[in-house]
Every structure is written in structure tokens, then in C-alpha cells.
């Protein structure tokens, strides 16, 4: 059984590794998508302006790099079973946020709403799988006594 869990965890992680790497390889397109969907709250604009001045990058580009790195790093660590519980929780929170901003089917109509609802449901199932990974105990199961209770 542990071999199936390991193979499943590695195969599951491929999604995040490839997604994160593709975002990092095309930061401009990722930043454009973020800029079209994410609105920085007015409370944070002073802070983001300062960071933009320090880095020389627009906020959308910084978020694109952060998102790509987050997916890639979490995927690799889950695949290697290094802090898999922690990184599963990080990805679960990330998916909730991404679903809220990118697949807001409740604000849409027609085919676009149905398509985004399917994406939101897919993300819900990914969150479920991340909960399973977070809940798997690394210790071997206790051996049951033969013949029942003593």
C-alpha cells in the first residue's frame, strides 16, 4: 500500500510542477492574466508601490513569479514527501484563492459560467486530494494482535 501512496503522490504533484514551471517560463502571460483578474485593495497600494520601486517590477509580475514558484516548490516537496503535510495546506489555500479570483462562475452566465464551474469543481477535488495527503500518517500502522483482544 505505501508504494501506491508514493506513486499517487508523485503523479498528483506533476500537475503543480508543470503548472508552476509553465508560469515561470511565460511570466508575461501569467502577469497579464493576474492583472486582468486580481485587483489590489486600496489599503495595500502604498505598500505595493514601494515594492515596485524597490524591485523595478510591476505587482502583477511579482505575483506571477510568486505563484509559479509556489506551485513548483510545493509540487516538488510533496512529490519528495518533504513537508508534504505543510505544502499540501499551502496549496489548498492557494487553490481556494485562485478559484475565487479565476473561476468565479457565480458572476458569469452561459457557457463561460459552466466552464468555470467545472474548473471550480476540479479545484475542489484537488483540495480534497491535498487534504488526503495532509492527513496521511507517516508512521507505519500498528500491528493488530492475532486472535483479537487479550
Q: What is the pLDDT of residues 8-33, one digit of tens each?
A: 999 999 999 999 999 999 999 999 99
Domain ranges of the chain: 2-135
Percentages helix, strand, coil for the chain (3-state, rounded to 5) are: 80, 0, 20
What pTM, to 2 d.p., does this model score? Answer: 0.83
pLDDT in tens, 31-54: 999 998 888 888 988 999 999 999
Q: What is the 3-state secondary structure (H, E, C) of 72-113?
A: HHHHHHHHCCCCHHHHHHHHHHHHHHHHHHHCCHHHCCHHHH
pLDDT at 38: 85
For the chain, what is the mean pLDDT?
90
pLDDT at 3: 87
Amino acid at each position: 500500500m505505501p508504494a501506491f501512496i508514493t506513486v499517487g503522490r508523485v503523479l498528483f504533484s506533476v500537475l503543480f510542477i508543470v503548472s508552476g514551471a509553465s508560469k515561470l517560463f511565460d511570466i508575461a502571460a501569467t502577469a497579464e492574466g493576474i492583472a486582468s483578474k486580481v485587483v489590489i485593495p486600496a489599503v495595500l497600494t502604498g505598500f505595493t508601490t514601494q515594492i515596485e520601486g524597490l524591485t523595478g517590477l510591476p505587482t502583477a509580475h511579482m505575483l506571477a513569479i510568486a505563484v509559479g514558484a509556489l506551485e513548483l516548490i510545493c509540487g516538488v516537496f510533496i512529490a519528495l514527501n518533504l513537508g508534504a503535510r505543510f505544502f499540501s495546506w499551502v496549496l489548498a489555500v492557494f487553490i481556494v484563492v485562485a478559484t475565487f479570483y479565476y473561476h468565479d462562475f457565480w458572476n458569469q452566465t452561459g457557457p463561460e459560467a459552466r466552464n468555470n464551474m467545472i474548473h471550480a469543481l476540479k479545484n475542489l477535488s484537488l483540495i480534497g486530494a491535498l487534504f488526503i495527503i495532509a492527513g496521511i500518517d507517516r508512521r507505519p500502522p500498528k500491528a493488530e494482535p492475532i486472535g483479537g483482544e487479550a
